[in-house]
Structure 1
Amino acid sequence: MLKMTPLNQTHRDMNAKMVDFGGWDMPLHYGSQLDEHHKVRQDAGMFDVSHMLPVDIKGDNVRDFLRRLVANNVDKLTLPGKALYSCMLTPQGGIIDDLIIYFLSETWFRIVVNAGTADKDVAWMLKQRDAFAPHLEITPRRDLAMIAIQGPNARAKVWQVIPGSQSTTEELKLFQSTVVNQYFIARTGYTGEDGFEIILPAADAPAFWQALHTAGVAPAGLGARDTLRLEAGMNLYGQDMDETKNPLESGLAWTVDLKSERDFIGKQALLDASVTQQLIGLVLIDRGVLRSHQQVVSQQNGVEYQGEITSGGFSPTMNQSIALARLSVQIAVGDEVDVLVRDKKLRAKVVKYPFVRNGKTLV
């Protein structure tokens, strides 16, 4: 039996094409994945991300617990509502999950984890809690729904739908959040566009979704979400990273604090790691489409280096194929590589990602 979000019937009423996404019954598109992609880049689109899981951690010294649990430093969170992107690591430095941490008070932090790793994540948190901070309460919040509204006009559309929200959120900076009535509003997203991710009571989600639609926000499915996040150069757990890879070889070194004296799970493994691979961008020169798991070959000073595409596809904004690939650190931006596609070698250029942000092509 597939799991369903509180918006499942709403998606079906809108004639969405539903698919099995990691055990969840989710909308792939509502007619045209391409149109949904462009709508987000040019106006505003909305995604049901209620399959993701908010986890509330409450009690004295939550901050101390999180200092140990995650690789980024929660001491950066000093303003209530501020958010921090981080990874939760194994003792060997592998990535259990990437997540967003919200600081609500010294006794209450909220963490939003990925759907496919939610059970594993909560089990890991509870294991660490029981060993180091048994007094803390860790509560998965499946009573909540989550809707992302993204695009250059996304915030203005939300202000139309939530009375009084403009005065509260107009000055909200990126990676900050606030609460307006029953809405937990965060200026975050997974598309490379401005907008909000809004957490609200599950029972209120269908009416809120319909109000957004009436205000001109286009529903968008998993297909557009993936092409948008790829253009934005954002990692997808299970493809660009997992427990066999560490953040230093996954383009996530910026989310790791190795400078402070603070210890965290996986820190020593990262300090001891010999980083030979990097996550980098590719733009296809020849005709074709880049896909995950395709092999990449490069010749540098007579030495052949092999790598692999982790995420690839066609970029609707750029009108060409792009990819994220894990390649040798010997390969530099500007180099050309060969991608093996059906026993053919297709030329691709190594570039620095993101490829697209705020509607503009960057490469």
Structure 2
Amino acid sequence: MLKMTPLNHVHRDMNAKMVDFGGWDMPLHYGSQLDEHHKIRQDSGMFDVSHMLPVDIRGPQVRDFLRHLVANNVDKLTLPGKALYSCMLTPQGGIIDDLIIYFLSETWFRIVVNAGTADKDVAWMLKQRDQSAPQLEISPRRDLAMIAVQGPNARAKVWQVIPGSQSLTEELKQFQSAAVGQYFIARTGYTGEDGFEIILPAADAPSLWKALHAAGVAPAGLGARDTLRLEAGMNLYGQDMDETKHPMESGLTWTVDLKSERDFIGKNALLNTSTTHHLVGLVLIDRGVLRSHQHVVGHKDGSEYQGEITSGGFSPTMNQSIALARMPMQITIGDEVNVIVRDKQLRANVVKYPFVRNGKIMI
């Protein structure tokens, strides 16, 4: 039996193409994945991300607990509503999950984790809590829904629909949030465009979705979400990172704080691990489509280096095939490599991602 978000019947009423996504019944598209992609790059669109899980952690010393739990440093969070992107690691330095942490007060932090890893994440948090901070309350919030509204006109559309939201959220910078009544509105996203992610009571989600749609916000499904995040150079858990890879070989070095004296789970392993591979961008020169798991071969100084595409696909904005690939450190930006596609070697340029941000091609 597939799990359903509070918006499931709304998606079906809008004739969405529904698919099994990690055990969740989710919309793939509402007619045209391509149109949905362009709508978000040029105007505004919305995603149901209620399959993701907000987890509230409350109690004394919650900051100390998070200092040890995650690789980034929560001491960066000093302003209520501020958010931090981080990874939660195994003792060996592998990535259990990537997540966003919101600082609400010294006794209340909110963490949003991925749908596919939610049960594993909560179990890990509870295990660490029981060992070091049994006084903390860890509460998965399946009573909440999440709607992401993205695009250059997304914020204006949200202000139009949610009374009083403009005055409370207009001055928010990226990775800041504010409470608007029972709505928790964060200026975050997974598309490379501006916008909000809204956490709200599950019962209120259908009415907000319909109001946004009436205001001209296009519904968008998993297909457009994936092409948008790939263009934006954003990792997908299970493809670009997992427990077998550490952040430095997954393009996430910037999310790890090794400078402070604090200890965190996985720190010792990272300090004693040499990074042999890194994540790079690829833009295909020849005709074809790049896909995950395709083999990549590069040559440098007379030696051959082999890697693999972690995420790939067609970029609607660039009208080219692009990819993220894990390659040996010797292969760098500006090199040309060959991607093995159906026993053919297709040429691709190694580039610095993101490929597209805020509607602009960056390559």
Shorter-chain TM range is over 0.9
Shift of 1:129: 0.1
Query: 2:274 maps to what in 1?
Result: 274
The answer as to 2:16 corresponding to 1:16 is yes
* Inter-partner Cα distance in structure 2 for 1:87 and 1:299: 32
> Which secondary structure state, in structure 2, belongs to the residue aligned with residue 122 of structure 1?
helix
In the alignment, the residues of structure 2 paired with residue 193 and residue 302 of structure 1 have an alpha-carbon distance, to the nearest angstrom, of 41
* Cα distance between partner residues in 1 of 2:282 and 2:251: 14
Q: Distance in 2 between matches of 1:206 and 1:41?
A: 24
Give the secondary structure class of the aligned counterpart of 2:185.
Answer: strand
1:286 aligns to 2:286 (yes or no): yes
> Secondary structure at the residue paired with 1:226?
helix
Q: Which residue of 2 aligns with 1:349?
A: 349
The two structures have a TM-score, normalised by structure 1, of: 1.00
Work out the number of aligned pairs and report it: 363
Give the CA deviation at 1:182: 1.2
Secondary structure at the aligned position of 2:12 is classed as: helix
Give runs of aligned pairs for residues 122-271 of structure 1, distance below 5 A: 122-271=122-271
Q: Quote the offset at 1:353 in angstroms.
A: 0.2
**Quick check: 1:2 aligned with 2:29?**
no
The structural deviation recorded for 1:344 is 0.2
Report the Cα distance in structure 1 between the residues aligned to 2:141 and 2:347, rounded to whole angstroms: 47
- Show CA shifts across 1:140-186 (max 9, x none): 00000000000000000000000111111110000000000111000
Distance 2:181 2:136 in 1: 27
Q: State the SS of the aligned residue for 1:100.
A: strand
Q: Does 1:45 align with 2:49?
A: no
1:293-312 map, 5 Å: 293-312=293-312
| Whole-Å separation in 1 of the counterparts to 2:160 and 2:59 | 36
Tell me by how many angstroms 1:77 deviates.
0.1
- C-alpha RMSD over aligned residues: 0.3
Q: Does 1:83 align with 2:83?
A: yes
Which whole-Å CA distance do the structure 1 matches of 2:82 and 2:117 have between them? 24
Using the alignment, how far apart are the partners of 1:291 and 1:160 within structure 2? 40
CA shift, 1:197, in A, is: 0.1
* Structure 2 counterpart SS, 1:317: coil
CA distance in 1 between partners of 2:41 and 2:171 (Å): 22
- Unaligned ranges ≥5, structure 2: none
User: What residue in structure 2 maps to residue 120 of structure 1?
Assistant: 120
Instruction: Kindly indicate whether residue 69 of structure 2 is the aligned counterpart of residue 66 of structure 1.
Output: no
CA distance in 1, matches of 2:202, 2:163: 19
SS in structure 1 at match of 2:309: strand
Distance 1:356 1:40 in 2: 12
Quote the Cα distance in structure 2 between the aligned partners of 1:41 and 1:8.
25
SS in 1 for 2:286: coil
SS at match of 2:20: strand
Give me the TM-score of the superposition, normalised by structure 2: 1.00
Match of 1:55 in 2: 55
How many angstroms apart in 2 are the aligned matches of 1:340 and 1:286? Answer: 12
Name the aligned partner's letter for residue 159 of structure 2. W
For 1:60 and 1:301, the matched residues in 2 are separated by 56
Q: 1:93 is matched with which residue?
A: 93
SS at 1:312 equivalent? strand
Q: Identify the residue that residue 360 of structure 1 maps to in structure 2.
A: 360
1:119 is paired with a residue whose SS is: helix
For 1:102, the aligned partner's letter is Y
SS class of match (1:212):
helix
2:129 aligned counterpart, secondary structure: helix
Partner amino acid for 2:312? G
State the SS of the aligned residue for 2:79. Answer: coil
Pairwise CA distance, 1:46 = 0.1
